[in-house]
Structure 1
Amino acid sequence: MKILLTIIISFTIFLTSSAQNVTSVDLTKSKFKETNAEEIFKDVKIIPLETHKDGLIEKHCTYYLTDKYIIAVGFLQRAYMFDRETGAFIREVSSLGQGPDEYTGFIYHKCGFDEKNGILFASIGAYTSKWWRCINIETNKMESNLKKPLSENSSEFLSVCAPWFIKNDTYVSFCSNRTGKDKVRLVVYRKDGTVIKKYPNYLEYEKHMNSFSIENGIFYYYNNLTYFKEPGFNDTIFCVNEKKMTPHLVFKLGDKQPSYYHQEVSGYNKGKYFINFVYESNLYVLFNFSYLKKGAESSVKSARFPYCGYYDKKSNQVYISSIPDYKTRGYIITGIPLRFFPVSINKNKEMIAYIDPEELIKYKNQLSPKYKQLFKDIQEDDNPIVIIAKLKD
């Protein structure tokens, strides 16, 4: 019965999308392609981040890009600022501690930066904390607290992880479906935690684990509006504000559509596509997705290989990395024999990605003369190399 309900809901979304002329990105008709970054990006810059004793960052970080800074945020770690033109280390953002401008938890990984106001969101203590601290990256001080939304129903827990700025003092957060039967998908609220709007979740999954995943949701700005996609299992992007949520774009995955209901059943979703990053311009819809071929060993939700793809709005054609060719799965830059994936894109449509120096050194002899000179002093344990490029529009 629950599986049937999931099918009915998906079909209803499809019919609604058709009626509203929602864009369909059809991955069932994808063309496999090794994509050079210069095809869809312009103004490509390669910037090695300074390896400073006070700013050593881990390999896998989330990066945010402003007009002046590169901000590197490690998962459950500290955040550091670098000059976006030179890569020079500037300073740590605030610090761990009990002081008035410090935080006792961590800076959020993904969706943890309000670019429009220059604010990083830090937790105060554990996941169950009732507040986020709003740290101004210019002053390096706590500007204010942002209260997490609380339901008027005492039996309903809104499992929000990170806020996304909509306008003025209005925010939206994705609510992870912790129990498999949680009824709220998105919550819109004021800075004081007052709930303005709750968007329902109709989907359920079969609970097999004692733990639960914490997801921030996928959010981005396009034409000054906020767009949202639930991570992984859902195929629809919505335009969302404090009044309504409307379908905007649907990924047609065919037999590669993962089962929401069976998401905790080990091995059930092997061979499926999990879209985990989306952005768009007037010309393209950019996305990353993970895939684990059937027969491969994996835990339920991890160890899937990442791939990239894009949808050309003018030609109505989708291009994706060759599946399951692991070696051609990302974007390439002429002269550098390594693939990369966008980590985030800012309001100016500038993408930021990174390359691991340890991996780069393995292919040092294959670099073009230009990049051999740029990376001549690179060491394996140096900070990552950042790539900045603007999505063509």
Structure 2
Amino acid sequence: MKIISSERIVVSLTLLIASLACSYYNENSYEQINIELAFVDTGELSVTDIGDHISYVPWETTDESLIGKRAYVRMLKDKLFVGSFQQPIKMFDKETGKYIRTVGNIGQGANEYTLLDNIPVFWIDETSEIIYVQTEGNSVLRFDVNGNPLGSINLPENFPRLTTVSQITAENKLYIYKQTLFNKLDNKILMYDIQNKNIEKYFLNKDEPISTDEFSQLPLIISGFGNIPVSTRCMIFSLKGNRMFFHYTENPCLWAFDKNIYFKEQFNDTIYQVLDSKMEPRFVFNLGDMHCAYEDRFNIEESQNKIFIDYILEGKNVLFFVFHTNYYNLQDAKTYWGIYNKKDKSVKVTDKLQIKNPANGYFAGELQTATSEGQLLGLVDAASFIENTNVDNLRDISEDDNPIVIIVE
């Protein structure tokens, strides 16, 4: 990987000024994840590589509980929550899969929310046990673990609209990440303390902004595009000089694990811990010759055969990450899954996009999210599950049923 010079990163007591490349910190201050070596010998991933136990939960399928397309799942205590195309958020029992109720509803009244690209956007503060739902303007709805309304919070006028950023909430603190492509001196991460109503800013951008005269055409907006299953949409910008870039909404670049907040953004090989006064490097991906130089991140030709990491999920003992090569060439792009074992520091990479379960075959569903305790969650459609696995107590499901939830612990 390429470590940028200290001239581009300045650490102060109140703010870290940094670029979008790797940190200048001493190598001993962070762990390296060596994808370069693992990439030479791609193999298969097993359930035992990512956790000690896997559960399959079939959701009850009725007219009332039917789940739409582009579904994504989250978990809070003994409940599972799912958002999907043109559907309100639905709650199911974690153990039985039985449908319980909707969380709020679609609309513009009290305890109702609008849909972004026809998908409800919600996230969960596991510590405070609160479900947050995006709605219009700077208002955010809140519900308890049973789906009961807790009222809304109104974000400050100078706070970015949540429809344009990625966000998480932990311990009543709302963290957001926004791309700073068009403003040289803009903060990438902001934290709003819901109780104290104050704002903290981190990670100041120092890159030259993209000017409007660099665009070769209007941006293309595609719903549900790319390798990020929880993203509601992608904006594809074409620039002059054979350049382009993708902007994803709801990109899971911020996450909570073990009461800490972590961050990794596009084109940056470093995972940071978000602290009160700085961004501390935690892991760095070593991509070797497949590292894309920061200055070439929008260059179609120079980014060929380079690795771009799409998103990361943190389990109790592992990091699960999705990446692909030929980022801007959709015909030649190839997706990979990877595992980094935090205990023995080993790395495994596969291009098969499936995780084998020796007990019953394999599952090919996407892992979508992780809890702050390190449980990994994903979905697989019923037809694929029936075809590729052999679980005796789940054989009564049909191809038209709701998806199967996968929980790896």
TM range (shorter): 0.7 to 0.9
What is the distance in 1 between the residues matched to 2:120 and 2:349? 26
Number of equivalent positions: 361
Q: Secondary structure at the match of 2:272?
A: strand
What percent identity do the matched residue pairs reach? 23
Partner in structure 2 of residue 320 of structure 1: 349
Deviation at 1:109, TM superposition (A): 6.6
Deviation at 1:72, TM superposition (A): 0.9
Residue 35 of structure 2 corresponds to residue 27 of structure 1: yes
After superposition, the Cα gap between the structure-2 partners of 1:157 and 1:23, relative to the gap in structure 1 and judged at 3 Å, is same
Per the normalisation by structure 1, the TM-score is: 0.78
After superposition, the Cα gap between the structure-2 partners of 1:40 and 1:353, relative to the gap in structure 1 and judged at 3 Å, is same
Residue 236 of structure 2 corresponds to residue 202 of structure 1: no
Deviation at 1:80, TM superposition (A): 0.9
Taking the TM superposition and a 5 Å limit, the aligned residue runs for 1:1-393 are 13-18=22-27, 21-30=29-38, 31-74=41-84, 77-106=87-116, 112-125=123-136, 129-147=137-155, 150=158, 161-167=165-171, 169-179=172-182, 181=184, 183-191=186-194, 194-203=198-207, 208=215, 210-211=218-219, 212=235, 213-216=247-250, 217-230=252-265, 232-258=266-292, 261-266=295-300, 269-280=303-314, 283-292=317-326, 297=331, 305-322=334-351, 328-334=352-358, 335-361=360-386, 363=387, 367-368=389-390, 371=391, 373-390=392-409
What is the distance in 2 between the residues matched to 1:131 and 1:293? 35
After superposition, the Cα gap between the structure-2 partners of 1:92 and 1:241, relative to the gap in structure 1 and judged at 3 Å, is same
Q: Where does structure 1 lack aligned partners over 5 or more consecutive residues?
A: 299-303, 323-327
What is the distance in 2 between the residues matched to 1:319 and 1:199? 31
Tell me if structure 2 keeps the 8 A contact 1:288–1:341: no
Deviation at 1:193, TM superposition (A): 5.7
After superposition, the Cα gap between the structure-2 partners of 1:340 and 1:98, relative to the gap in structure 1 and judged at 3 Å, is closer
After superposition, the Cα gap between the structure-2 partners of 1:252 and 1:202, relative to the gap in structure 1 and judged at 3 Å, is farther
What is the distance in 2 between the residues matched to 1:242 and 1:297? 43
After superposition, the Cα gap between the structure-2 partners of 1:204 and 1:320, relative to the gap in structure 1 and judged at 3 Å, is farther
What is the distance in 2 between the residues matched to 1:180 and 1:330? 40
Deviation at 1:257, TM superposition (A): 2.6
Partner in structure 2 of residue 301 of structure 1: none
What is the distance in 1 between the residues matched to 2:162 and 2:59? 38
What's the CA shift string for 1:203-256, capped at 9, x where partnerless? 4575546334243442222332111111x3211111103322111111111232
Residue identity opposite 2:177 in structure 1: F
After superposition, the Cα gap between the structure-2 partners of 1:21 and 1:131, relative to the gap in structure 1 and judged at 3 Å, is same
Q: Secondary structure at the match of 1:117?
A: coil
Residue identity opposite 2:180 in structure 1: N
Residue identity opposite 2:348 in structure 1: Y
What is the distance in 2 between the residues matched to 1:16 and 1:287? 23
What's the CA shift string for 1:52-92, capped at 9, x where partnerless? 21222234322111221111122675211111001111111
Per the normalisation by structure 2, the TM-score is: 0.76
Deviation at 1:260, TM superposition (A): 5.0
After superposition, the Cα gap between the structure-2 partners of 1:83 and 1:254, relative to the gap in structure 1 and judged at 3 Å, is same
What is the distance in 2 between the residues matched to 1:60 and 1:389? 21
Deviation at 1:310, TM superposition (A): 1.3
After superposition, the Cα gap between the structure-2 partners of 1:52 and 1:246, relative to the gap in structure 1 and judged at 3 Å, is same
Q: Where does structure 2 lack aligned partners over 5 or more consecutive residues?
A: 10-18, 220-234, 236-246
What is the distance in 2 between the residues matched to 1:79 and 1:55? 10
Q: Which of the two has greater strand per residue?
A: 2
